[in-house]
């Protein structure tokens, strides 16, 4: 396909922070961004200071740092208050003897207290480990054991899922709840301690390469990996906040991700606050009406969410959109999974906004391949590498492939927010860097002749049917264009003749019933609208598809079902 024929949404944002992508790629220099931070004069730094205190002391004291809301709470917290409360929590930890380099985990639902705890931990130089609130005991155990955490911040209702007795190094359990009466040995009452703690704190000034955060992420097999990041990541968080999120002084920014997922910290905590924006956090479960209400109520201008949410909003229909005033929105972004062209088209129609896809990983710490307000969007493409980095498609021997060839998506090393280790597992870390000069992502993609990158699937998910390599994403994207299809997960099912055949698991939209006619109609739709070889030969309807808590369809679970094999580590599965 030549690029002229490719569907394009033209750039419209003339006053974006990044005015010319091409020029920035030629002239950009990370050392310019570094000058923005304290270390430039002192040699020492602290992420939480740069994100909060600097603004609290620099004229934004009374600006709202956080608009928090859920079904029962509505609170606006200023930068000055955020500074004071995170200082208090830093003091609470210090009084317990916790300090630089110690691992402190957070295992609780979103709330203002979660953010005080996260920032306070960082302020004393400890390493924070955020967990999804819904983790079960085994998932909590694996992570606390591997990291040898000394403390966990949690709630009374989640406490039964913290296997304290099995974790000898876990000395302190800090409980966030009301009227805690009887505390067992090692338990600490968050609210009582915060009430008497000083709001002045001597910040732990650290080196750029000192530990910041440990994000556990599930591999397809084996135990979760502890992806280790350092304070230096702030360079990338700040910069991508400017050029990708396009944050400006008056923005009200909402990232819908939970801090248990890297998106909820890099872009739910660090990037917005490093840029001095007002941040919105909505607690509780996803509901279309609540989400639109959040945009309307806080007049959200920049909105960062995930394909799974956009697909659910699309399923909820245009009338739901019309019931709210979403006119404050000026910039919308997506991450976590491939963003189907149909979703981009719908978003343009329903919100009048181009949804900007962004690609990155827990391991990369920050955004790497993105669409920018000042760049044309090709629906279905992840975009182009951020200035200051380079990406390529390489073969299994590390050779760079020409345009339009499917292969391993790789990033040229290094970049500021790159992981610095897999905790306790140097061998695993080295695997990512097996070709000198490259980080190998494990994703399969191709680059078109104009430098746009197109995701195909995880390398393990690519299907080989009758000699043709088919990325599951393109088939799924075609499937969801069918009016009956809400979500689709596509896998290769072993077949004696074709090697693999394409099998689609499909969740139907409301109002549609499973039937053989519908299966045939859907298969025909892909065959005629996309390609005969990519049409599913088998379709199975499901009420729901298995997804991670960050909304990724778990194709490997579909495949394990299909083959009757064990499903591997399921600690991050949603239900």
Q: Does 441 bind ligand 6R9 (CB under 6 A)?
A: yes
CB of 336 to ligand 6R9, least distance (A): 4
Nearer to ligand 6R9 among residue 86 and residue 263 (C-beta): 263
Q: Among 134-142, 371-379, 441-449, 506-514, which window interacts with ligand 6R9 (CB under 6 A)?
A: 441-449
- Which residues have a Cβ under 8 Å from the Cβ of 359 and sit 6 or more positions away? 335, 367, 368, 369, 370, 382, 383, 443, 453, 455
CB of 129 to ligand 6R9, least distance (A): 15
Distance CA 433, CA 422 (A): 12
Q: Does 220 bind ligand 6R9 (CB under 6 A)?
A: no
Nearer to ligand 6R9 among residue 272 and residue 276 (C-beta): 272
CB of 401 to ligand 6R9, least distance (A): 18
Whether residue 167 contacts residue 129, with contact meaning beta carbons closer than 8 Å, is answered with no
Out of 85, 111, 263, 305, point to the residue binding ligand 6R9 (CB under 6 A). Answer: 263
Out of 105, 455, 505, 541, point to the residue binding ligand 6R9 (CB under 6 A). Answer: 455
Residue whose Cβ sits closest to ligand 6R9: 362
- Which residues have a Cβ under 8 Å from the Cβ of 367 and sit 6 or more positions away? 236, 240, 244, 267, 335, 358, 359, 360, 386
Distance CA 456, CA 270 (A): 30
Out of 382, 406, 526, 553, point to the residue binding ligand 6R9 (CB under 6 A). Answer: 382
Distance CA 138, CA 135 (A): 8
Binding-residue pattern over the window 157 to 196 for ligand 6R9, x denoting contact by CB under 6 A: ----------------------------------------
Nearer to ligand 6R9 among residue 39 and residue 360 (C-beta): 360
Q: Does 342 bind ligand 6R9 (CB under 6 A)?
A: no
Nearer to ligand 6R9 among residue 88 and residue 547 (C-beta): 547
Q: Where do runs of H (alpha helix) occur along 352-422?
A: none
Residue 345 corresponds to which tokens in the numbers above? 């088209």
Q: Does 417 bind ligand 6R9 (CB under 6 A)?
A: no
Q: Does 125 bind ligand 6R9 (CB under 6 A)?
A: no
Distance set, CA 87 to CA 31, 438, 524 (Å): 30, 40, 61
CB of 334 to ligand 6R9, least distance (A): 7
Taking Cα atoms as reference points, which of 102, 78, 79 lies closest to residue 90? 102
Q: Does 386 bind ligand 6R9 (CB under 6 A)?
A: no
Out of 77, 117, 255, 262, point to the residue binding ligand 6R9 (CB under 6 A). Answer: 262
Distance CA 108, CA 105 (A): 10
Out of 226, 338, 373, 388, point to the residue binding ligand 6R9 (CB under 6 A). Answer: 338
Identify the bridge partners of residue 507 per DSSP, sorted by sequence position: 487
Element of type H or E holding 457: strand 453-458
Q: Does 440 bind ligand 6R9 (CB under 6 A)?
A: no
Whether residue 484 contacts residue 509, with contact meaning beta carbons closer than 8 Å, is answered with yes
Q: Does 443 bind ligand 6R9 (CB under 6 A)?
A: yes
Strand order in the sheet with 302-305: 74-78, 64-69, 278-282, 252-255, 302-305, 331-334, 355-359, 369-370, 384-385
Q: Does 236 bind ligand 6R9 (CB under 6 A)?
A: no
Nearer to ligand 6R9 among residue 53 and residue 337 (C-beta): 337
Q: Does 270 bind ligand 6R9 (CB under 6 A)?
A: no
Nearer to ligand 6R9 among residue 362 and residue 571 (C-beta): 362
Q: How many residues does the chain have?
A: 575
| Residue whose token pair is 């870390």 | 429
Map the footprint of ligand 6R9 across residues 317-336, applying CB under 6 A: 335-336
Out of 116, 253, 360, 505, point to the residue binding ligand 6R9 (CB under 6 A). Answer: 360
Residue 291 Rama label (left phi>0; alpha psi -120 to 50; beta): alpha
Phi, psi of 90 (to 5 degrees): -60, -40
Q: Does 252 bind ligand 6R9 (CB under 6 A)?
A: no
Q: Does 550 bind ligand 6R9 (CB under 6 A)?
A: yes
- In this structure, what is the dihedral angle of CA atoms 100, 231, 228, 551, given to the nearest 10 degrees? 120
Q: Does 362 bind ligand 6R9 (CB under 6 A)?
A: yes
Binding-residue pattern over the window 129 to 158 for ligand 6R9, x denoting contact by CB under 6 A: ------------------------------
Nearer to ligand 6R9 among residue 161 and residue 225 (C-beta): 225
Q: Does 358 bind ligand 6R9 (CB under 6 A)?
A: yes
Phi, psi of 421 (to 5 degrees): -170, 160
Taking Cα atoms as reference points, which of 219, 210, 231, 91 lies closest to residue 146? 219
Residue 416 corresponds to which tokens in the numbers above? 């500021």
Residue 453 corresponds to which tokens in the numbers above? 């990158």
Q: Contact residues for ligand 6R9 (CB under 6 A)? A: 217, 262-263, 335-339, 357-362, 382, 441-443, 455, 458, 550
């Amino acid at each position: 396909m030549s690029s002229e024929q490719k569907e394009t949404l033209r750039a419209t944002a003339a006053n974006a922070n990044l005015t010319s992508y091409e020029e920035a790629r030629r002239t950009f220099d990370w050392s310019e961004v570094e000058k923005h931070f304290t270390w430039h004069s002192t040699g020492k730094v602290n992420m939480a200071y740069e994100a909060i205190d600097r603004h609290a002391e620099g004229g934004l004291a009374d600006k709202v740092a956080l608009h928090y809301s859920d079904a029962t709470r509505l609170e606006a917290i200023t930068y000055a208050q955020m500074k004071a409360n995170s200082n208090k929590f830093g003091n609470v930890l210090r009084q317990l003897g916790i300090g630089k380099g110690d691992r402190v985990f957070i295992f609780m639902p979103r709330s203002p207290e979660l953010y005080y705890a996260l920032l306070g931990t960082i302020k004393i130089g400890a390493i924070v480990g955020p967990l999804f609130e819904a983790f079960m005991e085994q998932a909590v155990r694996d992570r606390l054991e591997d990291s040898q955490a000394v403390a966990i911040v949690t709630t009374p209702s989640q406490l039964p899922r913290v296997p304290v007795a099995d974790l000898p190094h876990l000395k302190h359990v800090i409980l966030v709840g009301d009227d805690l009466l009887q505390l067992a040995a090692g338990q600490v009452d968050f609210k009582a301690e915060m009430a008497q703690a000083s709001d002045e704190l001597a910040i732990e000034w650290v080196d750029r390469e000192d530990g910041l955060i440990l994000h556990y992420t599930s591999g397809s097999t084996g135990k979760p990996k502890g992806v280790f990041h350092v304070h230096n990541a702030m360079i990338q968080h700040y910069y991508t906040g400017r050029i990708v999120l396009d944050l400006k002084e008056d923005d009200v920014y909402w990232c819908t991700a939970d801090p248990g997922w890297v998106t909820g910290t890099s872009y739910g905590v660090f990037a917005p606050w490093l840029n001095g924006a007002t941040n919105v956090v909505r607690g509780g479960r996803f509901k279309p009406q609540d989400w639109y209400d959040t945009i309307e109520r806080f007049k959200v201008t920049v909105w960062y969410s995930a394909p799974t949410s956009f697909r659910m909003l699309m399923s909820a229909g245009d009338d739901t959109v019309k019931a709210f005033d979403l006119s404050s929105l000026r910039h919308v972004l997506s991450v976590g999974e491939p963003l189907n062209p149909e979703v981009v088209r719908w978003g343009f129609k329903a919100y009048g906004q181009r949804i900007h896809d962004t690609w990155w990983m827990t391991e990369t710490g920050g955004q790497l391949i993105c669409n920018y307000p000042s760049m044309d969007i090709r629906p279905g493409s992840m975009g182009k590498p951020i200035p200051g980095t380079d990406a390529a498609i390489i073969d299994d021997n590390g050779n760079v492939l020409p345009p339009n060839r499917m292969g391993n998506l790789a990033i040229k090393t290094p970049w500021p927010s790159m992981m610095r280790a897999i905790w306790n597992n140097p061998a695993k870390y080295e695997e990512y860097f097996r070709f000198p000069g490259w980080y190998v992502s494990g994703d399969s993609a191709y680059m078109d002749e104009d430098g746009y990158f197109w995701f195909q699937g995880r390398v393990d998910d690519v299907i080989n049917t009758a000699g043709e390599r088919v990325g599951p994403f393109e088939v799924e994207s075609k499937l969801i264009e069918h009016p009956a299809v809400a979500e689709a997960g596509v896998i290769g099912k072993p077949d004696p003749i074709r090697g693999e055949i394409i099998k689609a698991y499909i969740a139907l939209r409301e109002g549609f019933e499973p039937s053989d006619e519908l299966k045939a109609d859907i298969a025909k739709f892909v065959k005629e609208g996309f390609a005969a070889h990519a049409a599913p030969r088998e379709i199975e309807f499901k009420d729901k598809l298995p997804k991670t808590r960050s909304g990724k369809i778990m194709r490997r679970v579909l495949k394990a079902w299909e083959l009757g094999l064990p499903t591997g580590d399921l600690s991050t599965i949603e239900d």
